[in-house]
Amino acid sequence: MIQKGLLFVVSGPSGVGKSTLCKTMVAQVPQTMLSVSFTTRGPRPDEQDGVDYCFIRESRFREMIQRDQFVEWAEVYGNLYGTPQRQLDEAMSQSTDVLLDIDAQGARQIMKRFPGAVYVFVTPPSLEALRTRLCGRALDSSDVIQRRLQSASEEIANFRSYHYLIRNEELTKATKELESIICAERVKTERLNTQWLRQKGLIEEPTIKENSTIV
Ligand code: ADP
Ligand code: 5GP
């Protein structure tokens, strides 16, 4: 597979605002797409199959694991979640940047397989703010919210494994920061095809030196 697009991994505690931020990127930043994960969790009232997640039974999920159809997968708060290999390959072979909104276990697996990806950790301004968001979202039971809050501190402790840290306090600022990261990563010299600089005469044509190295 020839990778043309960049891979951005956006991770952080549940309820911190990852999907809000990623969906805004896809809406605002051209040439970005969000990978649609598979999950055994049931759909929430506002979720659409194939758009927010592909909702499947556990037996089918386990079959996909056996067939090696996930780039990464993890059990998160009692449900299984995974990033499908085929869709990711297809997306990255086009010139579109792909965002993965995944938990910390998944991010660790992707770090091993895609060292060239860009890793962004999103943190809440405080645990209290996180609790307010999880309660405000009103989609999970108090038992589930409690479990999500307990894991949050452990996840935040590992923020140094990521390239960037976004404090999602004010959504507009956090959105701008994520957009800036994407834009900056796109213009890194190591990633750019700079042949046009020679074609336009902005740098000299390569000359062959005596030892045959092209400079
Ligand atoms: P995650 O995908 O990380 O689980 P969500 O994107 O679903 O989190 O956000 C959880 C809740 O917090 C949602 O109701 C969302 O509207 C809200 N939210 C996201 N960012 C902020 C913010 N900066 N300030 C206040 N509420 C926010
Ligand atoms: P939720 O049930 O709130 O949609 O998601 C719970 C957690 O699972 C979130 O932290 C989310 O980022 C994570 N998640 C969603 N899709 C995937 C995936 O494909 N792989 C992994 N490892 N985590 C995922």
202 C-alpha to ligand 2 centroid (Å) = 46
With a pLDDT cut of 90, the percent of the chain lying above it is 70
Q: What are the tens digits of pLDDT across the range 19-28?
A: 999 999 999 9
Q: What is the pTM of this model?
A: 0.92
Q: What are the tens digits of pLDDT across the range 15-67?
A: 999 999 999 999 999 999 999 999 999 998 889 999 999 999 999 999 999 99
CB of 101 shorter than 6 A to ligand 2: yes
Do strands 38-39 and 54-55 pair parallel, antiparallel, or not at all (unpaired)?
A: parallel
Task: For residue 140, give the nearest of 59, 72, 51, 41 by alpha carbon.
Answer: 41
Q: Give the CB-side neighbour count of residue 157, counting CA atoms within 13 A.
A: 5
CB of 35 shorter than 6 A to ligand 2: no
pLDDT of residue 215: 41
CB of 106 shorter than 6 A to ligand 2: yes
